[in-house]
Amino acid sequence: MGAPPSEYFYAFPFPHRPAFGSGPGLSFSLSFMMKIGLFGGTFDPVHNGHLIVARDAVEALGLDALHFIPNHISPHKLDLGRTSAGLRVEMLRRAIEGEPCFHLYEGELEREGVSFSIDTVLDFRRTFPGDELFYLIGEDNLPDLHTWQRIGELLELSTFVVQTRDRRSRSGIPLTPDAPQLTPAQKARLRFLPQRQIDISATEIRKRVAKRQSIRYFVPESVHDIITRHHLYTAS
């Protein structure tokens, strides 16, 4: 993709917060259509698997920007304790340093309460009315996708990119997972993106730390330093 026109600029202050996300805000002329990826999660902690998946999505979808979106309270994980928002943000900020297309959106943390995707997508849509939004989800979200708050509206406002595992029939034909509770029109708003197999999870990292096992190469060095300095995930 060539260099963006001169109207492309970073700025756009919001009345309810100084900037959209951390670092420089983002504002774009309507004359330059952007492809914007949204990648939500608890990120407790962010790890190399997240970063590899994000980079793959940027390249496969031709994204101009990808926003990491740490949630305050996931509606799908209401009973789980989590590291403070400040430390999760610090780990994310350090992890994405040096990646010009990676950004950090803190709107769900600022809203507090349960984090619903519709609120975030509406926030982006108000700011980027003429741009394409791509909402990244894992294949394991598909069975319950119909229960997401205002899912019909969500699928109209953005394209949902389902990161799938490589499954094939006995004859070698790729198998596409299904979302049986969605309407045909809603299914048409899903896009499937094969995901490389990366056997790293935040749950495993927390368990390894609690057992005093190494997590080097599971997370960026900067994230490892934060975990060590703040004694995160220790059993005590």
Q: What is the pTM of this model?
A: 0.81
Domain annotation covers residue 5: no
Mention every residue, 6+ apart, whose C-beta is less than 8 A from residue 142: 162, 177, 178, 179
Computed over every residue of the chain, the mean pLDDT equals 82
Domain annotation covers residue 99: yes
Domain annotation covers residue 229: no
| Beta bridge mates, 14 | 17
CA 225/CA 230 separation, integer angstroms: 9
CA 131/CA 174 separation, integer angstroms: 31
CA 169/CA 184 separation, integer angstroms: 24
Q: Containing domain of residue 103, as a range?
A: 35-167+177-198
Over the stretch 122-137, which tens digit does the pLDDT of each residue have? Answer: 999 999 999 999 999 9
Domain annotation covers residue 96: yes
Domain annotation covers residue 100: yes
Whether the per-residue pLDDT at 223 is higher than 80: the answer is yes
Domain annotation covers residue 188: yes
CA 108/CA 120 separation, integer angstroms: 7
Domain annotation covers residue 111: yes
Query: Count of domains in the chain?
Result: 1
Domain annotation covers residue 216: no
CA 10/CA 90 separation, integer angstroms: 22
Q: What is the pLDDT of residue 208?
A: 97
Instruction: Report the CATH number at residue 48.
Output: 3.40.50.620
Q: How far is CA 231 from the centre of its chain?
A: 25
Counting Cα atoms < 13 Å in the Cβ hemisphere of 61 gives 31
